[in-house]
Amino acid sequence: MSRRLGGWLAAAGALGALSLGLPWSALAAGTAAPARVAIVAAVGLVGLGLTRGRDRLLPVAVLVAAAGVVVGGVSPSPGRLALAAAVFCLVAGLRADGRRVLPGR
């Protein structure tokens, strides 16, 4: 893992964790259960992809995290915006490291 990727992943992880404590709707903060599952799944996929050398899991992590942003609607709530910023950081880090962002080809 390059230093660039590590910085982007640290930012993505911090924003993903922050998004859990921010309001996602009129409900209490962090109550968007499907988004919580997507965040945990994306973090797990990134961790497995990097530690086990399975680069195929990294684009899947991007898709899972992006699904967490849109699950339950696309309202501009603080939690969704923080998670969207985390997805952006993940994509930017993968691109800076020369890795694929989308699965396939």
DSSP code per residue over 5-72? HHHHHHHHHHHHHHHHHS-SSSS-TT--HHHHHHHHHHHHHHHHHHHTT-TTHHHHHHHHHHHHHHTT
pLDDT higher than threshold 70 for residue 29: no
Mean pLDDT, range 59-66, rounded to an integer? 89
pLDDT for 66 equals: 87
pTM value is: 0.81
pLDDT higher than threshold 80 for residue 104: no
pLDDT for 8 equals: 87
Domain boundaries, the chain: 3-96
Mean pLDDT, range 30-55, rounded to an integer? 81
pLDDT for 65 equals: 87
